[in-house]
């Protein structure tokens, strides 16, 4: 309900975030990142450039990765958003930490220094793994590969698919290793 994005009005928007539905009056110009951080208190997704260039704000919308700094929240009415806060299941199970396996792998591989880009790296990597499994090619995928088949995530594929996520500390080699750790 409400006006078009950008007209300065609010729209009633229902978004599920980490499994919890939220119905909010959202200014049509408000981006998802600000809604998550300021309205819902979910500060895992970070504001780096605020221009769609660094990837620190990456979250998953219906399983697909997006730069949440660019996306008007009202466009997500009816969508399910997953942020880094929604990944750990808290089940201490066999690994004893309750973390998502990719979070565990980032710790095990020292895949960060300052950690600012880490939530975006992790969400982006999960999106990338899903895209490759669904057969979406990247710029480095062999053009002769059979269409629609899962694309194997080689190191080059991982690097290419995470190239939208910048790390000022230069932890890239360890990030790639962490992603390799969780591949099937
Ligand atoms: Fe969104 Fe940099 S903060 S891409």
Query: How confident is the model over 120-156, as pLDDT tens digits?
Result: 999 999 999 999 999 999 999 999 888 889 999 999 9
Whole-angstrom distance, CA of residue 68 vs CA of residue 70: 5
Q: How far apart, in whole angstroms, are the C-alpha atoms of residue 85 and residue 120? A: 11
Check pocket membership of 164 for ligand 1, CB cut-off 6 A.
no
- CATH of 101-181, picked from 1.10.3080.10, 1.10.150.120, 3.20.20.80, 3.90.550.10, is 1.10.150.120
On whether the CB atoms of residues 65 and 129 are closer than 8 A, the answer is no
In the chain, which residue ranges form alpha helices assigned H by DSSP?
Answer: 32-34, 101-108, 118-133, 155-161, 172-181
Report the residue among 43, 54, 61, 127 best suited for mutation to probe ligand 1: largest number of ligand atoms under 8 A from its CB.
Answer: 54
Is residue 161 scored above 50 in pLDDT?
yes
Compare 147 and 158 and report the one with higher pLDDT. Answer: 158
For residue 25, what are the CA distances in angstroms to 9, 41, 77, 102? 9, 16, 11, 34
Give the CATH number of domain 10-86.
3.10.20.30
Give whole-number Cα distances, 161 to 39, 41, 166, in Å.
30, 29, 12
CA of 66 to the centre of ligand 1 (A): 10
pLDDT in tens, 42-67: 999 999 999 999 999 999 999 999 99
pLDDT of residue 4: 53
Q: What is the pLDDT of residue 7?
A: 60
Going from the Cα of 121 to the center of ligand 1, the distance in angstroms, rounded, reads 12
Residues of the chain with CATH 1.10.150.120: 101-181
Distance CA 126, CA 74 (A): 24
Q: Is the CB of 50 under 6 A from ligand 1?
A: yes
- Nearest Cα neighbor of 132 from 103, 99, 159 is 159
pLDDT digits 0-9 by tens, 67-126: 999 999 999 999 999 999 999 977 666 666 889 999 999 999 999 999 999 999 999 999
pTM value surpassing 0.90: yes
Residue 183 alpha carbon to ligand 1 centre in Å = 26
Task: With beta carbons less than 8 A apart as the criterion, state whether 46 and 121 touch.
Answer: no
The pLDDT of residue 55 is 98
Q: Where in the chain is the domain with CATH 3.10.20.30?
A: 10-86
Whether residue 55 has its Cβ less than 6 Å from ligand 1: yes
Whole-complex ipTM: 0.98
């Amino acid at each position: 309900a409400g006006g078009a994005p950008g007209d300065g009005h609010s729209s009633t928007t229902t978004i599920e975030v980490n499994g919890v539905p939220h119905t909010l009056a959202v200014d049509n110009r408000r981006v998802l990142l600000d809604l998550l951080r300021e309205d819902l208190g979910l500060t895992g997704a970070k504001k780096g450039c605020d221009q769609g260039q660094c990837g620190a704000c990456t979250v998953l919308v219906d399983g697909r990765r997006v730069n949440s700094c660019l996306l008007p929240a009202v466009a997500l009415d009816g969508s399910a958003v997953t942020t880094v806060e929604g990944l750990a299941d808290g089940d201490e199970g066999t690994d004893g930490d309750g973390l998502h396996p990719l979070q565990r792998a980032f710790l095990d591989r020292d895949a960060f220094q300052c950690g600012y880009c880490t939530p975006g790296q992790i969400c982006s990597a999960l999106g990338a793994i899903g895209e490759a499994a669904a057969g979406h090619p990247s710029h480095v995928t062999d053009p002769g590969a059979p269409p629609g088949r899962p694309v194997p995530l080689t190191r080059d594929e991982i690097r290419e698919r995470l190239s939208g996520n910048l790390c000022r500390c230069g932890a890239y080699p360890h990030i790639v290793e962490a992603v390799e750790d969780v591949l099937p």
